[in-house]
Amino acid sequence: MDYYQEDLAYIHDSGFGDFARNAGVEVITLLQNKGILDGLVVDLSCGTVIFSELLLASGYDVLGVDISASMLDIARRRAPSATLMQASLLSVELPSCRAVTILGEGINYLFDEANDLSTVTRLFERIYRALEPGGLLAFDTYQRLIAPKGGTQTILREGEDWTVFAQSTAEAGILKRYIVNFRKMGEGYRRTEETHLVRLYTGQDLAKSLREVGFKVRVCQGYGGFALAKSRAVLIARKP
Q: What is the CATH number of the domain that holds 160?
A: 2.20.25.110
Q: Name the E strands within the chain.
A: 40-44, 61-66, 83-86, 97-102, 131-142, 153-159, 162-171, 174-185, 188-199, 216-220, 222-223, 226-227, 232-238
Residue 229 lies in a domain: yes
pLDDT of amino acid 144: 93
Structure confidence by residue, pLDDT tens digits, 35-72: 999 999 999 999 999 999 999 999 999 999 999 999 99
Q: For residue 3, what pLDDT is reported?
A: 87
Regarding whether 165 and 134 lie in a shared domain, the answer is: no
pLDDT by residue (tens digit) across 101-115? 999 999 999 999 889
81 and 176 in a common domain: no
- Does residue 77 sit in the same domain as residue 168? no
Q: Are residues 69 and 18 in the same domain?
A: yes
Domain boundary among 198, 215, 230: 198
DSSP string, 219-234: EESEETTEE--TTEEE
Return the pLDDT at 2.
66
- 34 exposure class (CB count in 10 Å sphere: 0-12, 13-18, 19+): middle
How far apart (Å, rounded) are the C-alpha atoms in residues 207 and 210?
Answer: 5
Give the domain CATH number at 219: 3.40.50.150
Q: Are residues 53 and 96 in the same domain?
A: yes
Longest CA–CA separation in the chain, Å: 58
Is residue 102, in this structure, part of any structural domain at all? Answer: yes
The DSSP output letter for 81 is T
The H helix count followed by the E strand count for the chain is: 6, 13
Is the domain of 110 the same as that of 189?
A: no
1 falls within a domain: no
Quote the pTM value: 0.96
**Mean pLDDT of all residues belonging to the chain:** 96
Q: Is position 207 within any domain?
A: yes
Flag whether 70 is in a domain: yes
* Residues 139 and 206 reside in one and the same domain: yes
Residues 6+ apart with CB under 8 A from 115: 90, 108, 109, 199
Average pLDDT over residues 20-29: 99
Q: Please tell me whether residues 100 and 71 are part of one structural domain.
A: yes
Domain of 185?
153-198
140 part of a folded domain: yes
In which band, very low, low, confident or very high, does the pLDDT at 148 lie, cut at 50, 70 and 90?
A: confident
Q: How confident is residue 1, by pLDDT bands cut at 50, 70 and 90?
A: low
Same domain, 167 and 233: no
Tell me the pLDDT tens digit for each residue of 106-139: 999 999 988 999 999 999 999 999 999 999 999 9
CB-based contact 101:139 (threshold 8 Å): yes
Residue 63 phi, psi dihedral angles, 5° rounding: -115, 115
Number of domains in the chain: 2
Does some domain include residue 127? yes
Same domain, 136 and 20: yes
| pLDDT for residue 14 is more than 80 | yes
Whether 17 and 36 map to the same domain: the answer is yes
Q: Are residues 139 and 72 in the same domain?
A: yes
